[in-house]
Chain A
Amino acid sequence: MHYEFEEVLETLSMVALDHFDIRTVTLGISLRDCIDGDLSAMERKVTRKIRGLAKNLVRTVDQVSEELGIPVANRRISITPLAFLLDGAPKQGPARLAKVIDSLAEELGVDYVGGYSALVQKGMTPGERRFIEAFPEVMSTTERLCGSVNLASTRSGINMDAVKLMGETIQAMAQATASRDGIGCAKLVVFANAPEDNPFMAGAFHGMGEGDSAVSVGISGPGVIRHVLSLYPDLTIDDLADLIKRTAFKLTRAGELVLRDVAERLGAPRGIVDISLAPTPARGDSVANILEEMGLERCGAPGSTAALALLNDAVKRGGAMASTHVGGLSGAFIPVAEDTGMADAVRAGALDLGKLEAMTAVCSVGLDMVVVPGDTPPESLSGIIADEAAIGIVNNKTTAVRIIPAPGKGPGDSVEFGGLLGSGPVMAVTPFSCKKFIHRGGRFPAPLRGLTN
């Protein structure tokens, strides 16, 4: 087969210059067959199951990456939401099992395990409440374990009791990891309409409708899109959308190829390709910079929501054709701390929490890696969660909140997390309270949109 010089150069420069990589290969593992009333027996079963299925994960991904010549940033595991296994366990159950899984992740060399998760969108069992209350202990005593709580869905509405509990839990997690600026909160995401096959952290889990195992891939590539747009500065909006779509197709095809090769070698079923543009702190590998390349002086300026909607839709269109099974979150992430362009926009005063919330209505997830003052009341955190959940259930989309009330920090300060988590400016939260609204408790009815039968 003959290749044009430009085609080859394009692929090479995506990797060499524009930070393109496969962000993650995530092996989903069902732990449903590990449930046991005896906690020690359950720990042994979980260890045997994960070790058995994932022992070759890292080596296989490394081989595929090496042979294809395309970098893979992370190797991860997602598991059945652990709250399901631990519902009848004693009080110390969550922390004990979490530690077992965390050390297993280290032994296997995987970067993260996702699935310290609970699905409580309609109600919460006493076991699930204990599980959620253990978050501060679990996230301050483990390194590689990530967790999530789905507390709303278009079909069931919003569990407002869980919303209140999560505001308190996030504050407690920040306090438990105060010496590291509340970094524990970076390992927890609160969802509405959580996808059950998402390979990205912190929200990955292996859903209840999944099989025994599945390999999924999350792509990356904001730097590539930004670079391509910079080559064609005068396109109309139509042509801009088309260019993004074509580029997203190519990025997703690379992900699809990695997925096929890894799944075949592991002997595991193919899951999905998540076609998300996942930014990194590297200069230029930024979704905010893409929006600025489209013609905004700074991300957060009027037009930002429209530009993001255009980007998100074009990415989906290109990606959907490139992979047989597209899933997960699939779109454009707009984290603040992980995206240098977003953080710069906040520091410049161009982007505030209100505009960011508006943008979450059209991005692929929600408020992500947002750092707020450490003295933000738990009820205000709950209010922010409720707002995101409402956007999610009403618009039938996934929304999420990953928020860090950094202890001792206030607006204008900055927090350094390091690595892929980057650094985040502390964003101001309105001092006006929603305490009474949050303390009402109960269940927010499902929107009419949920009645689709």
Chain B
Amino acid sequence: MGADRPGILAGVTRVLADNEVNIVDITQKVVDGLFLSLIVADCSGSDAVVSSVRQQLERTADSQGLKALVQQERLFRFMHRV
């Protein structure tokens, strides 16, 4: 999330592709110039550990003035599905 500008998704998806992480779903919104993107990604085919992918994403986002937050899908399932 952060200020909208060209190339945001390109940077983030490059990190995922480089780590062989498969993108399952992407949703994106721009509200009053604030860019919000939700990416559901599957790491099961990747050799990279989650912490390393998270660090790379945070670094990439940071270099573009954005904030990247990575949480495991199970957390959402537990919190939002009865």
Contact = CB atoms under 8 A, between A and B. Distances in A.
Interface in A1-24: 1-3, 5, 7-12, 15-16
A68 interface: yes
Interface in A252-273: 253-254, 256-257
Interface in B37-82: 38, 40, 50-51, 54, 67, 69-81
B76 A11 contact: yes
Q: Name the residue in B27, B36, B51, B69 with the highest tally of chain A Cβ atoms < 10 Å from its Cβ.
A: B69
Interface residues of A, number: 22
Nearest to A16: B69
B50 A70 contact: no
Interface string A63-86: 000111110000000000000000
B77 to A, nearest CB: 6
A12 B80 CA distance: 13
A70 B71 contact: yes
Contact of B71 (A2, A68, A250, A253): A68
A118 to B, nearest CB: 38
A2 B25 contact: yes
A69 B79 contact: no
B14 interface: no
A419 to B, nearest CB: 26
Given A8-B38, A12-B71, A254 B50 contact: no
A12 B36 CA distance: 12
Contacts of B38: 3, 5, 8-9
A122 to B, nearest CB: 42
B70 A257 contact: no
Contacts of A3: 38, 40, 76, 80
Given A1-B77, A3-B80, A16-B67, 13 more contacts: A1-B81, A9-B38, A11-B76, A11-B80, A12-B71, A15-B71, A66-B51, A68-B71, A69-B71, A70-B71, A250-B80, A256-B78, A257-B74
B25 A69 contact: no
Contact of A250 (B69, B74, B79): B79
5 contacts: A10-B80, A69-B69, A69-B75, A250-B79, A253-B79
B75 A254 contact: yes
A250 B79 CA distance: 5
Interface in A116-156: none
A257 B51 contact: no
Contacts of A253: 78-79
Query: Nearest 4 A-B pairs (CB), nearest first?
Result: A69-B71, A253-B78, A250-B79, A257-B78
A254 B78 contact: yes
B55 to A, nearest CB: 10
Contact of A5 (B27, B54, B74): B27
A7 B76 contact: yes
A1 B73 contact: yes
A268 to B, nearest CB: 20
Contacts of B70: 69
Given A9-B36, A11-B79, A250-B80, A66 B50 contact: yes
A68 B74 contact: yes
A409 B81 CA distance: 51
Contact of B75 (A2, A5, A66, A68): A68
B52 to A, nearest CB: 10
